[in-house]
A and B are shown apart, each in its own frame.
Chain A
């Protein structure tokens, strides 16, 4: 049985081979990337202990990202469902409209420290790309974003934002033309340009250092939330569930981080894909086997031979065959539970939440809301559910209009 060491940050729970629980993560990378990754790892380990850097980070988090993001009670939804008290951490209020801004900002700060002038990143839903292009502009870095051709079509508003920020979008036409291919192509680009260019991986996936930097950045979410929960309840409620969608797993890792050593329950919601379809993006829920994807060992959708499998989800941000090694670790340590919601469930949840409440979650957190809506009626009113509303629906307006007939915020 895998155990979580108390008092040790989640990102540091790995062994000397950078494996979490002895089997997830690692650095399965081409030789060319060994040195740039080692350099980045040693720079990051220095910076995270450096008071000045932390001050700088906090400064930009406050003045640029606009932390803390609101923590609100969803009174109408709570009354409508008649069970647990439902709250939302409205991370979509952060500058740019999603949690991806934390990772993007920290990567830009690190790129500056490393003396790099160019930064590249991957994106699925377009939020990671949008935020990286925003932050790159802010910190005066030249930016390239790799994005699957299918995602470019379905996440138009974010594509336009990326272009407006002056970044170059590189469409990726290989494979399924979604996030998995964007990450591969971005890594290939880095293999060829690692001497001049910094790479930002958009989620808690990839070689170990990228998992670390990303979860370190998104941990801001739970740092704030912990305080907000204490203010609201005076303690951690006896029965508390923290529900978050998981694709790569960056927002969930950040949402749960500070609660790791508490009794709060964690529920991760993967993308179940279209109802009645065999395709999905839920490797944890559906018992996928461990494999290597993008430099890390993880549960990953694949065939018997080890070819990475196709996925399908209405939510581009969750449409990824793998999952962060951190979540594989949390699953096997039985610290978090994982389930999935279908495209239809997510749309229904989106509709209900935006009708009843003043927030408009994107299709990614709508997966998490779907689970909250499903379980809340069965819970006592003394129980508390908090959902991470980690993205704004604006980027999904085309899809929502097409599926539901209209898009009203």
Chain B
């Protein structure tokens, strides 16, 4: 059976556009709001990523750190994250949802337990920022057994040999980090160069769904639309931060933002 993630990419390919993938943090700015945000933005997004926050995130920039901090201050726990996923999946059973976070939380929860909770709540995929290949081999196998996509990351520093090995071990989706940066950095490489690297990787196995993330905003998204998918995260977190500052409703603000992002890649 095809995974929901795969099906989402197939639809996008038919419509000749990249998949729009959003990232928000569970519990930001409240547990309820983060669910409302998911429900709203998934009208426009093809795949939603949901971060489970960690207080020592070594690969995240200021925006996502801010969102994680707010969520943790609200007392968000993994059981709440799974609750949010469950509720979201009840109303949107076919929308793929990917959990993203750091390994220590999974380590403490127990890998098997964690995957059980993923399965029960309807998680489709996992991105673990600090569990690289080949250290992730074992865990990625466990994911596969549960039909959960383990999403491998590639970066501009990944050697060609390594890229080949990682692609071989990947599931339905691979995440290409656009540049040397934490999340939310300013795009310091031209979209042309990003796509050049992207295409090199894509050539190795054209069947794999390869998405680009890091530094993508409403300003840059259009120039990268030849990719299979594009991830926007920090810009969403920043919009939440700004709407709180201005006492506006983050849910409607994000609705508008993601709608606009989608329009740019149609």
Contact = CB atoms under 8 A, between A and B. Distances in A.
Interface of A: 17, 26-36, 174-175, 180, 184, 187-188, 191-195, 289-295, 297, 302, 304-308
Contact of B58 (A290, A294, A304): A294
B158 A34 contact: yes
Contact of A306 (B57, B105, B162): B105
A31 B158 contact: yes
Nearest to B130: A28
Contacts of B130: 28-30, 292, 295
Interface stretch (B40-48, B174-182, B216-224): B174-182
Contacts of B107: 290-292, 297, 306
A174 B67 CA distance: 13
Contact of A194 (B104, B131, B180): B180
17 contacts: A28-B135, A29-B132, A31-B157, A31-B158, A34-B162, A175-B56, A187-B58, A191-B59, A291-B107, A292-B103, A293-B104, A305-B77, A305-B78, A306-B109, A307-B55, A307-B72, A308-B104
A161 B80 CA distance: 47
Interface in B113-148: 129-133, 135
Given A29-B132, A30-B130, A291-B104, A35 B55 contact: no
Given A30-B153, A34-B132, A308 B55 contact: yes
Contacts of A306: 54, 104-109
B164 to A, nearest CB: 14
B159 interface: yes
Contacts of A291: 104, 107-108
A31 B132 contact: yes
Contacts of B77: 305
Contacts of B185: 192
B56 A192 contact: no
Interface size class of B (residues with CB under 8 A): 35 or more
A192 B62 CA distance: 13
Interface of B is mostly: loop
Interface in B21-50: none
Contacts of A307: 54-56, 72, 105
Contacts of B54: 306-307
A357 B103 CA distance: 48
Given A29-B132, A292-B103, A307-B55, A188 B61 contact: yes
B65 interface: yes
A31 B154 contact: yes
Interface string B2-22: 000000000000000000000
A15 to B, nearest CB: 13
Contacts of B104: 291-293, 302, 306, 308
B135 A184 contact: no
B239 interface: no
B160 to A, nearest CB: 11
Nearest to A307: B55
A287 to B, nearest CB: 15
Contacts of A289: 108
Contact of A28 (B57, B131, B133): B131
Give the residue among A30, A297, A304 with the most B Cβ atoms within 10 A. A30
Contacts of B106: 306
B94 interface: no
A80 to B, nearest CB: 44
A338 B133 CA distance: 34
A193 B188 CA distance: 11
Given A28-B130, A308-B56, A174 B65 contact: yes
B58 A35 contact: no
A29 B177 CA distance: 14
Contacts of B58: 29-30, 184, 187-188, 191, 294-295
A245 to B, nearest CB: 23
B155 interface: yes
A36 B155 CA distance: 12
Nearest to B76: A305
B102 interface: yes
Nearest to A32: B155
Interface string B59-92: 1110001000100100001100000000000000
Interface string B167-191: 0000000000100111001000000
A263 B100 CA distance: 48
Given A32-B177, A307-B56, 16 more contacts: A28-B103, A33-B157, A34-B132, A34-B157, A174-B69, A188-B58, A188-B61, A191-B181, A195-B180, A292-B103, A292-B104, A292-B107, A306-B104, A307-B72, A308-B56, A308-B104
